[in-house]
A and B are shown apart, each in its own frame.
Chain A
């Protein structure tokens, strides 16, 4: 990266990019970490009516800063409604009421399938990861999904060690065959740029950040990455975006 873009971090660039994709009045199922930061940034800037839903059962939470966990008291105290865990999954997520789900991943493949379970063999894992949580049903039931993760060869792999959450399976038609109601992953936002699925359900590079080349992205992708003919140059975070994000982080919950 050049010097004039050195005053923000890769995480800030990712968070701002993710926040920009959110529209006012959307309903958004968010996890802790970068997704929560992005959703709260959007709510603090261009999307004040964004409805944040956490799997702890808090619907319409309005934290003033960033909570450390999905069950922080501030989420319950500021929510429009607090429901039980069976209810949040059965009544709210499962029927497809929620517009967008945000997911992280340890590994992702070119069809947007996600592994958050193990690295290595399941029975004798090299690294035991946390596992599924709410992700499989967020991936199948939300109207669409955005995946946020850092791009490197370990994460962007040709073959997943385990399928925790289904993106497009092995290509067109898989979601319909499995009966998955939502449209699946529509964006992967990384620390280099943005990937979106083409009509073969394969993720292709559609945008890069300032100072990032296509070669940089290909060098950190474990499959033959294709590039959209309309590759976008994604603008750096603006002062208003960075100020709002840093204020949220400084406040904590």
Chain B
């Protein structure tokens, strides 16, 4: 049953060194404040899982929180490279980063398998690509009904999933709408979960296309207005496109990044 706590308490209780952590949100509703809190609490050795590592994981990787990254597209959307991610992969700075990479369809299906309590999911994908040679998470499978060759991907079962949502009620029922991405699957696939919300309200009135996660599927809820910034929360905030552009220069240089980290996160 969901506990309503502070962000500091939620991250402190839910995320431990060495955990496998998924922070999801597909461009919309990215849990940036929670990511910065993980940096502040100096977690180490994390396996970070996310379809689009984006600026949020660029920060965690640069801050030295990650041992491994499981992902499908590692760029700064609409801008260019993720420089901290590149520096880790190309030069092992601030430490080596193991990678396990998939396609979006593969990652989405791995979460679906995790949420469904299945060991794997089946899709048409990867055939003929260089990604297929990862037997730990991608195998060929024969359809038992038609004999067709398909691809199996192993389930993702994070220790913790972290998401940002528009609202929760006082019982901890969570509601989010707009581009809802893969967050429902990521929460249901995980052992524990942290949800930051724009606001806690008395009652969740219906919204078109909303996903509701009942309180008994959620671990911790923390009220963090603006917690998606520089990403956005539809009907609460706008995407800060200027920050994504500015991130290119901040993250390109190790010293500039370290100074930003000290000033904006750790101070």
- Tell me, rounded to whole Å, the shortest Cβ–Cβ distance linking B29 to chain A: 9
Given contacts A32-B77, A85-B26, contact A73 B238 (CB under 8 A): yes
Given contacts A33-B78, A166-B129, contact A131 B179 (CB under 8 A): no
Complex contact A128–B85 (CB within 8 A): yes
B51 contacts across to A, CB distance below 8 A? 85
- The stretch of A134-142, A189-197, A204-212 in contact with B is A134-142
Complex contact A82–B244 (CB within 8 A): no
Q: Give the interface size class of chain B.
A: 35 or more
**Contact residues of A between 142 and 196, Cβ < 8 Å to B:** 162-166, 169, 174, 178-181
Q: Assuming A76-B28, A134-B105, A135-B103, what are 13 further A-B pairs, CB within 8 angstroms?
A: A55-B104, A56-B181, A68-B244, A71-B179, A84-B180, A90-B112, A132-B104, A133-B52, A133-B72, A137-B124, A166-B129, A179-B148, A180-B128
Could you tell me the dominant secondary structure of chain A's interface residues?
loop
**Contact residues of B between 208 and 267, Cβ < 8 Å to A:** 209, 211, 232, 234, 238-239, 241, 244
B88 nearest CB neighbor, chain A only: A128
Q: Give the interface size class of chain A.
A: 35 or more
Bound: A55/B77 CA distance, A? 13
Q: Does A112 contact B (CB under 8 A)?
A: no
A169 contacts across to B, CB distance below 8 A? 128
Complex contact A90–B131 (CB within 8 A): no
Complex contact B127–A166 (CB within 8 A): yes
Complex contact B103–A82 (CB within 8 A): no
Complex contact A122–B28 (CB within 8 A): no
Q: Does B111 contact A (CB under 8 A)?
A: yes
Which residue from B85, B86, B104 sits with its C-beta under 8 Å from A133? B104
Q: Does A63 contact B (CB under 8 A)?
A: no
- Tell me, rounded to whole Å, the shortest Cβ–Cβ distance linking B30 to chain A: 9
A166 contacts across to B, CB distance below 8 A? 127-129
Complex contact B28–A90 (CB within 8 A): no
Q: Does B123 contact A (CB under 8 A)?
A: yes
Could you tell me the dominant secondary structure of chain B's interface residues?
loop
Q: Does B90 contact A (CB under 8 A)?
A: yes
Bound: A55/B103 CA distance, A? 12
Complex contact A117–B28 (CB within 8 A): no
Bound: A180/B126 CA distance, A? 10
Bound: A85/B128 CA distance, A? 23
Bound: A132/B53 CA distance, A? 13
Complex contact B108–A122 (CB within 8 A): no
19 contacts between A and B (CB under 8 A): A56-B27, A57-B179, A71-B28, A72-B27, A82-B179, A84-B211, A85-B104, A86-B182, A89-B104, A89-B105, A90-B123, A127-B86, A132-B73, A132-B101, A137-B103, A137-B124, A163-B130, A165-B129, A166-B129
Q: Does B191 contact A (CB under 8 A)?
A: no
Which residue from B73, B126, B178 sits with its C-beta under 8 Å from A73? B178
Given contacts A136-B126, A163-B129, A165-B129, contact A125 B178 (CB under 8 A): no
Complex contact B130–A162 (CB within 8 A): yes
B105 contacts across to A, CB distance below 8 A? 89-90, 93-94, 134, 136-137
B102 contacts across to A, CB distance below 8 A? 132
Given contacts A71-B28, A132-B103, A140-B124, contact A82 B182 (CB under 8 A): no
